[in-house]
Amino acid sequence: MTAMRQQAMSAVVDVFERDENVAVIMADISLDYLRRAVEHDPRRAINVGIMEQSAIGVAAGFALEGYHPIVHTLAPFLAERPLEQIKLDFGYQGLGGLFISAGASYDYGESGGTHHAGGDVQALGSIPRLEVLVPGSARETDALVRASYANGRPTYLRTSIVENDAPLELAPGGLTVVRRGRDLTVVAAGPFLSRTLAALDGIDATVLYATTLVPLDAATLAREAAPAAEIVLVEPVYEGTTAAQVSAALAHRPTRLLSIGVPRRFLKRYGTAEQHDADLGLDVGGIRERIRAFVG
């Protein structure tokens, strides 16, 4: 159990016990960490087993009755397998619910393609009104769970094994200014902030930290972008997932955009998340090399 995932489950149990309008729907994942919720009120804490589409339907039923449903399982089984149910049951019907995943993009790399989910944000981001949260630490995860569980919108919160070196106090709106520079603007998402800062050693860059990828905080990006035209996006999802939002936010000025993220291909090799990062050029050295080549 990772620190982010564990903290997410702790926050879920806490809001469940404090708020009688919260319902928790499980799919045989993290049951030990959610047992307190079941013992507190089994009428609102339901384990449907390994039936993720059914979990979304049950959650939508709770939402229609005025509850704030929270659904939890691994990323490919939450973002991809029941995509149509989230689209129709929550998006189309205008319902609110919090969907908390673990394991993306390849935290379970040794389990192969069934457990990879580099495209989770891209898939769910196609649903109108849906919000995507990508924290970079356990403390940020706790804050985002508490802030979003009753927000009235379908909200996807993505936890991961990888964390930043230290949590940040998050600014309202989704983009937090980490530092200001003149030669480059870098948007670093979630748990990729620390490695991005290390890769920027010696470069005078404005760095903006994103924990909300959908919708991106366009106002802060437009206001804080460095004078230079070069923009770099570093995100722990499929490369270019957030590029259209970045381009739209800066449409009023000339820009050159470099997207750094998970390559859009099936990963056929087995290994840990750290091994995949190194192999895919998503460690400090790989990110530094691409940024330096981009800025010349």
- Among residues 205, 190, 181, 212, the alpha carbon closest in space to that of 258 is found at 205
* First CA to last CA distance, the chain: 41
Q: What is the pLDDT of residue 174?
A: 86
C-alpha–C-alpha distance, residues 224 and 220, integer Å: 6
Per DSSP (E only), the strands in the chain are 22-26, 45-47, 68-74, 97-102, 131-133, 154-158, 175-179, 184-189, 205-210, 212-214, 230-238, 256-262
Which tokens in the block code for residue 56? 């979304």
C-alpha–C-alpha distance, residues 52 and 72, integer Å: 9
Please report whether residue 163 resides in a domain.
Answer: no
Give 158-203 pLDDT, tens digit per residue.
999 999 999 999 988 789 999 999 999 999 999 999 999 999 999 9
Domain boundary among 111, 130, 158: 158
Q: What is the pLDDT of residue 1?
A: 58
Are both 190 and 225 inside the same structural domain? yes
Please report whether residue 278 resides in a domain.
Answer: yes
Q: What is the pLDDT of residue 172?
A: 81
| Domain assignment of residue 112, given as a range | 3-158
Give 222-256 pLDDT, tens digit per residue.
999 999 999 999 999 999 999 999 999 999 999 99
Residue 44 DSSP code? T
Please report whether residue 166 resides in a domain.
Answer: no
In single-letter form, the type of residue at position 224 comes to E
Are both 68 and 197 inside the same structural domain? no
C-alpha–C-alpha distance, residues 137 and 85, integer Å: 29
pLDDT in tens for each of the 296 residues of the chain? Answer: 589 999 999 999 999 999 999 999 999 999 999 999 999 999 999 999 999 999 999 999 999 999 999 999 999 999 999 999 999 999 999 999 999 999 999 998 888 888 999 999 999 999 999 999 999 999 999 999 999 999 999 999 999 999 999 999 998 878 999 999 999 999 999 999 999 999 999 999 999 999 999 999 999 999 999 999 999 999 999 999 999 999 999 999 999 999 999 999 999 988 899 999 999 999 999 999 999 999 98
Other C-beta atoms lying within 10 Å of the C-beta of residue 31: 13
Helices (DSSP H) in 41-106: which residue ranges? 52-64, 75, 83-85
Domain boundary among 111, 128, 158: 158
Place of tokens 């689209």: 87
Please report whether residue 214 resides in a domain.
Answer: yes
Please report whether residue 169 resides in a domain.
Answer: no
Please report whether residue 165 resides in a domain.
Answer: no
Residue 26's contacts (CB-CB under 8 Å, 6 or more residues apart) are 34, 45, 46, 47, 48, 55, 72, 73
Place of tokens 């860059």: 205
197-204 contacts at long range (C-beta below 8 A, 24 or more positions apart): 198/284, 198/288, 199/284, 199/285, 199/287, 199/288, 199/291, 200/288, 200/291, 201/288, 203/291, 203/292, 203/295
Q: Output the average pLDDT for the chain.
A: 96
Domain of 140, CATH number, reads: 3.40.50.970
Domain of 196, CATH number, reads: 3.40.50.920
Q: What is the pLDDT of residue 56?
A: 98
Domain boundary among 127, 158, 189: 158
Are both 100 and 217 inside the same structural domain? no
- Report residue 239: phi and psi, to 5°: -55, 130
| C-alpha of 293 from chain center | 28
Place of tokens 């748990």: 191
Are both 99 and 242 inside the same structural domain? no
